[in-house]
């Protein structure tokens, strides 16, 4: 029995289309079509993924006979509209929550630092020792959420560089409503933080603590909302995911037209990375250089950087 016959039958047992199999394997639908037409053959890593996906051995898949395997009703993909076969929605939700939580924790660390500024019980130590520890502790814990979540997303993009748009119109409308709620709530909390700073301006430590502590949940909403909403823009995800692949990895997708899209995406990702890199430098300068007298507002650098990225992206879409 041929590999083609085995693969076609295994797909049928799961009620799986060529496009759905391609998404799970991280290749294009054209690649699966070529395999089943015996015009090309998958590389070893893809063969192993197929074996893992359908719970079979490599020998059986390549040269055995799997056409007698019965349908796997419990693992079958439901018929009808497109479905999330890759776990995309869960992965993007997890990314949004972890990123927002990481940023909020960094702000809470800054709040603790403001409260402890000039307070130190260690004889001979710098008065701001506890304050510095609060900042560094908040940054360390926040990055413990941000960095792994970023790596997880990059790994997911490499494994699934193409995802079929399975979101319904109702799903996208709900995401937009949720975004508006998060933006309104986040902005309202930021305004409360500003007003608390004005009311407590006579006490620098308490003022800084109140601003940062109240800002944390507001910024959490302002970060989570756009990230959760953007997950429904699957076309944007597909372009971003292509930018994470090397030329060789794009070639393995089996669609020559993707190379130019991948290069364009890499250029755009480089621009966004540069903008956020500058924002990070500005934020750290505001936080750690006393001459700027702007420690409570260091966090503003990142939202401004995010707005700049959004402006660049909107200009790119307008030109396209």
The residue from 33, 48, 75 where one domain ends is 75
Q: What does the alpha-carbon distance between residue 42 and residue 56 come to, in Å, rounded to a whole number?
A: 16
209 and 233, same domain (yes or no): yes
DSSP class of residue 41? -
How far apart are alpha carbons 240 and 264 in whole angstroms? 10
Report d(CA 195, CA 124) in Å as an integer: 37
Q: Are both 57 and 102 inside the same structural domain? A: no
Do both 213 and 256 map to the same domain?
Answer: yes
Residue 48, both tokens = 């192993």
In a domain, 82, yes or no: no
Mean pLDDT of 96-101: 94
Query: Are residues 68 and 148 both part of a single domain?
Result: no
Same domain, 195 and 285: yes
- Note whether 181 and 314 are same-domain residues: yes
| pLDDT, average across residues 175-187 | 94
Q: Of 22, 48, 75, which residue is a domain's last?
A: 75
Chain-wide mean pLDDT for the chain? Answer: 83
| 98 lies in the same domain as 7 | no
How high is the pLDDT of residue 51? 92
pLDDT band, very low/low/confident/very high, at 67 (cuts 50, 70, 90): confident
Q: Is the pLDDT of residue 318 over 60?
A: no
Q: Are residues 56 and 128 in the same domain?
A: no
What's the domain range around 36?
A: 3-75
Mean of pLDDT values over 102-112 = 88
Residues 263 and 227 in one domain: yes
Three-class SS of 207-253: HHHHHHHHHHHHHHHHHHHHHHHHCCCHHHHHHHHHHCCCHHHHHCC
What percent of the chain shows pLDDT beyond 70?
88
Distance CA 240, CA 156 (A): 12
Both 132 and 209 in one domain: the answer is yes
Comparing CA positions, the residue from 165, 316, 153 lying closest to residue 234 is 165
CATH assignment at residue 66: 1.10.260.40
Tell me, what DSSP letter sits at residue 69? P
**pLDDT at residue 301, as a whole number:** 80
Whole-number Å distance between alpha carbons of 221 and 107: 13
Rounded to whole angstroms, the Cα distance separating 87 from 82 reads 13
50 domain-assigned: yes
Burial 69-108 (b: 16+ CB within 10 A, else e): beeeeeeebeeeebeebbebeebbeebbbbbbbbbbbbbb
pTM higher than 0.85 for the full model? Answer: no
Averaged pLDDT for residues 133-151: 89
Higher per-residue confidence, 252 vs 55: 55
Domain count for the chain: 2
Position 80 in a domain:
no
**What's the token pair of residue 21?**
């199999």
Q: Is the pLDDT of residue 111 over 90?
A: no
| 71 lies in the same domain as 197 | no
Neighbours of 259 (CB within 10 A): 15
């Amino acid at each position: 029995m041929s590999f083609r016959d085995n693969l076609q039958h295994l797909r049928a047992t799961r009620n799986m289309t060529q496009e759905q199999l391609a998404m799970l394997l991280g290749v294009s639908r054209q690649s699966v079509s070529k395999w089943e037409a015996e015009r090309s053959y998958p590389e070893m890593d893809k063969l192993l993924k197929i074996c893992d996906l359908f719970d079979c051995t490599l020998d059986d898949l390549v040269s055995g006979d799997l056409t007698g395997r019965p349908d796997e009703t419990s693992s079958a993909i439901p018929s009808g509209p497109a479905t999330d076969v890759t776990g995309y929605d869960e992965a993007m939700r997890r990314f949004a929550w972890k990123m927002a939580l990481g940023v909020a924790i960094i702000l809470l660390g800054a709040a603790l630092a403001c409260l402890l500024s000039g307070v130190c019980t260690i004889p001979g130590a710098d008065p701001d020792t506890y304050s510095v520890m609060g900042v560094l502790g908040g940054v360390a814990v926040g990055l413990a959420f941000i960095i792994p979540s970023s790596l997880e997303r990059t790994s997911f993009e490499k494994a699934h560089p193409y995802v079929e748009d399975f979101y319904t119109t109702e799903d996208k409308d709900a995401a937009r409503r949720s975004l508006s709620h998060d933006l309104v709530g986040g902005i309202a909390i930021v305004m409360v933080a500003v007003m608390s700073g004005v009311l407590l301006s006579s006490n620098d430590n308490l003022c800084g603590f109140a601003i940062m502590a109240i800002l944390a949940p507001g910024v959490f909403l302002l970060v989570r909302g756009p990230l959760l909403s953007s997950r429904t823009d699957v076309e944007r995800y597909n372009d971003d995911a292509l930018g994470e692949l090397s030329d060789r990895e794009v070639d393995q997708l089996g669609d020559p037209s993707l190379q130019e899209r991948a290069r364009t995406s890499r250029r755009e990702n480089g621009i966004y990375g540069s903008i956020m890199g500058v924002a990070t430098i500005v934020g750290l300068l505001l936080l750690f250089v006393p001459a700027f007298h702007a420690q409570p507002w260091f966090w503003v650098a990142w939202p401004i950087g995010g707005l700049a990225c959004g402006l660049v992206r909107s200009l790119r879409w307008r030109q396209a």
